[in-house]
A and B are shown apart, each in its own frame.
Chain A
């Protein structure tokens, strides 16, 4: 019970603090839009490549950018933890009768709200610029779920990293080092059929790939639900492992106090 209420208290605090920062709002809303417009224009003609198999690039890349912005929304969560540690807020929470897990899940919850808003804007903008989804509303919901199931475990991993290294520079470095390659080693921008063989092989083990493939399948015609569910299952397993790692990192942080 305290797990849910405390998660809500934490999420409420973080969202309220974000809404007080107008620049943050502008940047976090404009940036994904910028990606969508830039990629949509820059790679417009790659659909002409033999084997790309998409009607239009904007239809192809819109779910990709949704997944990409979820990945980044999740992967930078550790920075907030670092700020809380430096401000003494973390220790303050730990001496309260606070549900320990809620300190992490509250943060993931607030990130999810932000991510859903971003995704809605992206989908709307994509539609306005010509993207069409045969999978309809169900497909869009699956897309959002795939985004969440990618953002949450990366948020947990990022928080775990922050708890262990406790230096903003290290978290920034590691996030860049990990997130960018994961994005490019997945079919976010480029269809799998036209990827080099080695990237295609590597991408099979990439959670970003599972997420974007499941979403595109659900958004397309004649959805193969087994294909979608298998990938969602993999994402759930990945989330469980990440949660376990974050919990262990949290214990390590407390032990070192």
Chain B
């Protein structure tokens, strides 16, 4: 086997993919994932995250560009890539009419595991994901969280080197989500598996990823560790909510004479801005808004978050982009 410790686990180069000749899902996306860590692709719906995963796990082919996974070329050696990776798709791949144990056993068999080895892998994973009790019930009867766990266990049956998790916690309740986060962290920290995770939850990327790449409209916007990205933003984020939606020009006009404000964005009811010292900038801002008859409902000053990072690099808030991109999400 090639691809030792130091070689990157995933290398995507200039990936381009269009659907139906119109929708440009990927527009020259490149990134590198080092081995043995959780790497998050963060972006709103329709940013191209799932398309990226589908190309890397050989389900789909790019129009142009190339990629290496675990040292193998996804286009030239798809079979070897498939042996080295585990996948958990956004849509569950659990057979609902089969039991948890049967689902795991089938995955193992197709990976060439047999007899005692297969059985011990299955038992170990059932145990690890706390599914032993439900092992012989058909998966149709599982809760959403249990199905997700079974999904992840199925991706791990052959002890892959790289695990793809496409939106693993979407649709789960907060408790199940927190439990899954622990499981995912352990995969990288204890088992040394490289995890490529896509998510449109900012806090999920913040919590889990050693490094993350923000993807928007099929392009890489910025890449780095969560702390590094937040640290690059100077100063505090100021969010002011108005009592009613205000025109951007009015707001900008009101703040025109104030010093030390940057990155002013108006998004419906809310004004986002940045200042070196949030607390000292706020009184002046409020006074200026008040004198222009702009009614303020609430004010928040915060240390930079990933949301601010996204705003800084793309010029729109994450939730705004998420909604705007719902259409054509893949």
Contacts and interface: CB of A to CB of B under 8 A. Distances in A.
B79 interface: yes
- Max chain B C-beta neighbours (<10 A), residue from A20, A87, A92: A92
A94 B106 contact: no
Contacts of B83: 97
Contact of B110 (A6, A17, A254): A6
B189 interface: no
B98 interface: yes
Nearest to B97: A17
B110 A91 contact: no
A60 B59 CA distance: 50
Interface stretch (B87-95, B169-177, B236-244): B87-95
A173 B285 CA distance: 65
Interface residues of A, number: 22
Given A87-B92, A87-B93, A94 B59 contact: yes
A92 B87 CA distance: 8
A43 interface: no
Nearest to B96: A87
B61 A255 contact: yes
Interface in A79-104: 87-89, 91-98
A91 B91 contact: yes
A13 B98 CA distance: 8
Contact of A13 (B57, B91, B93, B95): B95
A32 to B, nearest CB: 23
Interface string A1-25: 0000110010001001100110000
Contacts of B58: 94-95
A92 B157 CA distance: 13
Contact of A96 (B89, B91, B102, B111): B111
B107 A95 contact: no
A257 interface: yes
B93 A88 contact: yes
B159 interface: no
A97 B111 contact: yes
Contacts of B89: 88, 91-92, 95
B60 interface: yes
Contacts of A254: 59
B59 A96 contact: no
Interface in A8-56: 9, 13, 16-17, 20-21
B107 A96 contact: yes
B106 A98 contact: no
B54 A257 contact: yes
A93 B54 CA distance: 13
Which of B79, B89, B91 is packed against the most chain A CB atoms within 10 Å?
A: B91
B109 interface: yes
Contact of B109 (A9, A17, A21): A9
A91 B58 CA distance: 10
Contacts of A21: 97
Interface in B104-130: 106-107, 109-112
A16 B102 contact: yes
B123 to A, nearest CB: 20
Given A16-B102, A95-B87, A87 B95 contact: yes
Contacts of B26: none
B138 interface: yes
Nearest to A102: B110
A89 B110 CA distance: 14
A13 B110 CA distance: 12
A92 B103 CA distance: 11
A47 B59 CA distance: 57
Contacts of B57: 95
Nearest to A17: B97
B138 A91 contact: no
Contacts of A16: 98, 102
B220 interface: no
Most buried by A among B54, B91, B93, B112: B93
B197 interface: no
B85 interface: yes
A9 B111 contact: no
Contact of A87 (B61, B79, B94, B112): B94
A23 to B, nearest CB: 13
Contacts of B82: 95-97
Interface in A169-210: none
A5 B54 CA distance: 26
A94 B54 CA distance: 11
4 nearest CB pairs, A to B: A92-B93, A88-B91, A17-B97, A257-B60
Given A17-B97, A92-B89, 11 more contacts: A13-B98, A13-B106, A16-B98, A20-B97, A87-B93, A88-B89, A88-B91, A95-B85, A96-B107, A96-B110, A257-B54
8 contacts: A21-B97, A88-B93, A91-B89, A95-B57, A95-B89, A96-B82, A97-B82, A97-B110
